[in-house]
A and B are shown apart, each in its own frame.
Chain A
Amino acid sequence: MELEKKILNLIEHDAKISPKAIATMLDETEEKVKAIIDRLEKEKIIIGYNAVINWERVGDDGVTAMIDVKVIPEREVGFNRVAERICRFPEVRCVYLMSGTYDLSVVVTGNTMKEIAWFVSHKLSTLDNVQSTVTHFVLKRYKQDNFIFEKAEEDKRLVVSP
């Protein structure tokens, strides 16, 4: 269990790290590390791998919005059924159940603000149990998933020192 957690910690910060490198770092064999990663993937403990991309740098001005959604919970299933429905829309990136003044926080990406406005008015707010929505557009991304966007901190050390 400890070993699994150590592997997960390493992968979480750098999904590209090789099983061989992990094996060296943790004093294990490459085969054992591979087998554990395979199993973690099969068991959906590792759900998937993403890259964090600064799309603006390739001239892509996509839009992201965070939408606060108020929902009437349903008997027996609470918020789950409506949350699962929202998850199915491909433009939805994240869905969280929140404490506080609203219930679901939904992160949506699209090519234009219009596209997102259309999604909210036609798809999201028309769902049965959705009571109201408040849409916040992301203006600028500073940091995401541990990575700072604008300028990664460069190595300011002298190249050689005693």
Chain B
Amino acid sequence: MNDMSKYVSRVVKSIPPSGIRKFFDLVSQTEGVVSLGVGEPDYVTPWHIREACFYSLEQGYTMYTSNQGLLELREEIAAYEKRRIGIEYSPAREILVTVGVSEAVDLALRALVEPEDEVLVPEPSYVSYAPGATLTYGKAVPVQTYDVDEYRLRPDVLESCITPKSKVLILSYPNNPTGGIMHRRDLESLVDIIIKNDLIVIADEIYSELTYNGKHVSIASLPGMKDRTVLMNGFSKAFAMTGWRIGYACGHPDIIGAMTKIHQYTVMCAPIMGQKAAIEALRHGQAEMKKMVDNYNYRRKMILSGLREIGLDCFEPRGAFYCFPSIKISGMSSEEFCEKLLLEEQVAVVPGNAFGASGEGFIRCCYAASINNIEEALARMEKFLNRHKK
């Protein structure tokens, strides 16, 4: 076969493949796996939402929508965000419906970042922010967060990473992979630094409905922050709609307008079926969502107490559906731990270093799994640790 790799652009070559991908291949070849390695709800989309999609297809809604998304959906989003964080966004000019939050992040980075601009990414972090910055010829700058701080972003650490080239700060709380959240006072401690250094915040709040000790606070709702924040949210986690790929961005018309320009030339619009389903989710999805969140909370407590019982140190995660325990007692690296755990006990968890260097020494355990699977995984992990404890 010819070597065509010389044709692939340098910037794409420079991005490492996702650390999760490699691990995924390994897991796929293993039989009888109990997986705590997924990054999505274990619920199927509630039936009334699926049914609304069938109905829209029956009615013949199979066409493009406006670039920004159905006005009806943007109106529902505006009402929802008003309820959720108390901010009013104009459906006409300040909301853009995207193909998942992933597209929204990509659009925002492309709309904001120029070559050499620095994008501050608190780590451990979801896997796509840093590559997204690289693809715009910007530079992703990791900002460490620590388990002793429950992975909150500390103002002094943020400040130490800022240079004259810093332009964008990514804030992704509740956090994947750690389950950490930012309280109001934590966010307030960042505002002065953000304004003083003229940063724009990309706030990925996809897990914001999944908090277990009080309501999520959005940085956009703090004084002086609305215009500086590109707020992102979607339906995947709260409404168990990952495969529908519907997300949205809210923000200043200048930025949303710029993002819309890229969106119209690249994907044109988010799929109409998903948009129709999203309308139903916002109108009638609260009750089912509450049930799901209550159940995640039960499992969160189960897995946290279980992990601690088998000897793994773990701070209490207050959001999303992940625990991020330390595996120090095993004396292994994250990858070694995950590979051995998979081969010896057929339990899949994700190595912490897949989410940045600072995740080394930790693993991500997703508790969006049935109680039975959580108990089974914990029992197997206990056997594993008894063999390997240092």
- Judge whether A157 and B126 touch: CB under 8 Å: no
- Judge whether A158 and B24 touch: CB under 8 Å: yes
Residues of A within 8 Å of B371, CB to CB, are 14, 17, 21
0/1 string, A117-148, CB within 8 A of B gives 1: 00000000000000000000000000000000
Q: Give chain A's interface residue range (CB within 8 Å of chain B).
A: 10 to 19
Binds A, one of B32-40, B200-208, B221-229, B249-257: B32-40
A3 to chain B, nearest CB (A): 14
Minimum CB distance partner of A10 in chain B: B298
Q: How many A-B residue pairs have CB under 8 A?
A: 55
- Judge whether A160 and B20 touch: CB under 8 Å: yes
B128 at the interface (CB under 8 A from A): yes
0/1 string, B27-58, CB within 8 A of A gives 1: 11000010101111010100000000000000
- Judge whether A157 and B33 touch: CB under 8 Å: no
- Judge whether A159 and B28 touch: CB under 8 Å: yes
Partner of B348, one of A25, A155, A159, A162: A159
A27–B37 Cα distance when bound, in Å, is 26
0/1 string, A62-87, CB within 8 A of B gives 1: 00000000000000000000000000
Given contacts A157-B42, A162-B39, 11 further A-B contacts (CB under 8 A): A14-B371, A21-B371, A24-B301, A24-B302, A157-B40, A159-B27, A159-B28, A160-B23, A160-B37, A160-B350, A162-B128
Q: Which of A26-49 contact B (CB under 8 A)?
A: 26-27
B18 at the interface (CB under 8 A from A): yes
- Judge whether B302 and A25 touch: CB under 8 Å: yes
Residues of B within 8 Å of A153, CB to CB, are 44
B305 at the interface (CB under 8 A from A): yes
A25–B302 Cα distance when bound, in Å, is 6
Q: List 5 A-B contacts (CB under 8 A).
A: A14-B371, A160-B37, A160-B348, A161-B37, A162-B18
- Judge whether A159 and B301 touch: CB under 8 Å: no
0/1 string, B63-85, CB within 8 A of A gives 1: 00000000000000000000000
Residues of B within 8 Å of A21, CB to CB, are 302, 371, 375
B127 at the interface (CB under 8 A from A): yes
Tally chain B residues at the interface, Cβ within 8 Å.
29
- Judge whether A159 and B33 touch: CB under 8 Å: yes
Residues of A within 8 Å of B44, CB to CB, are 153
Interface secondary structure of A, over-half rule: loop
Q: Which of A1-35 contact B (CB under 8 A)?
A: 10, 14, 17, 21, 24-27
Residues of A within 8 Å of B302, CB to CB, are 21, 24-25
Residues of A within 8 Å of B298, CB to CB, are 10, 25-26
A159–B348 Cα distance when bound, in Å, is 8
- Judge whether B38 and A27 touch: CB under 8 Å: no
A159–B375 Cα distance when bound, in Å, is 17
Minimum CB distance partner of B37 in chain A: A160
A2 to chain B, nearest CB (A): 13
A129 to chain B, nearest CB (A): 42
0/1 string, B284-314, CB within 8 A of A gives 1: 0000000000000111011001000000000
B14 to chain A, nearest CB (A): 20
A35 to chain B, nearest CB (A): 20
- Judge whether B27 and A160 touch: CB under 8 Å: yes
A38 to chain B, nearest CB (A): 22
B170 to chain A, nearest CB (A): 15
Interface centre among A17, A153, A155, by most chain B C-beta atoms within 10 angstroms, is: A155
Residues of B within 8 Å of A27, CB to CB, are 301
A37 to chain B, nearest CB (A): 17
A25–B38 Cα distance when bound, in Å, is 22
- Judge whether A161 and B40 touch: CB under 8 Å: yes
Q: Which 8 A-B pairs have the closest CB atoms?
A: A160-B37, A25-B298, A160-B24, A161-B39, A159-B35, A162-B127, A159-B27, A24-B305
A45 to chain B, nearest CB (A): 21
A26–B127 Cα distance when bound, in Å, is 33
Residues of B within 8 Å of A24, CB to CB, are 301-302, 305
Residues of B within 8 Å of A26, CB to CB, are 298, 301
A17–B372 Cα distance when bound, in Å, is 10
Residues of B within 8 Å of A162, CB to CB, are 18, 20, 39, 126-128, 176, 354
